[in-house]
Amino acid sequence: MRNWIKRTRNSIILLSLTLLMAVPVFALPLGRVIRGGLAPAQLVFPTSDSVDLRGKEYLEFKWILHNLISADYTDLRIYKSYNTYGVNLILKERISSGGTSFRVKTSMFENNQVYTWVLKVVSRGGEKSDSVYNSFKVIK
């Protein structure tokens, strides 16, 4: 009987300590738990090494937002190169809250050229997520 009481008391103490440590984590918004800030978008398409644009009028960029409630807009940038320097920037778009795709005319892309697209989510408070990006080679 004595061992049972001792084990029960130890279990209660351990459970209480665990709950005390867990409460601050649950008090934070989900985005802050993920990376200490706004969660980045998840790229859906194009995410492969090459994109075949033969016979297509548009290339549609697609992504998933994990912070629909707190997202104000998504910053989409397309660079003509692996390097994401300003000199290589060919398109910059601010897509309003809830937007998860953007179409670009295929005439903007050159055959056998590499392009990199970059997404950054911006909250209503101005907080920015980490950038996510993918590079691909165009086949026409």
Residue 52, pLDDT above cutoff 80: yes
Q: Is the pTM of this model over 0.85?
A: no
Mean pLDDT to the nearest integer, 4-25:
59
| pLDDT at position 119 | 93
Region label for 14, one of left (φ > 0), alpha (ψ between -120 and 50) or beta (otherwise): alpha
- According to DSSP, the β-strands at 58-64 and 42-45 are antiparallel
Q: How many angstroms separate the first and last alpha carbons of the chain?
A: 80
State the average pLDDT over residues 114-124.
Answer: 91
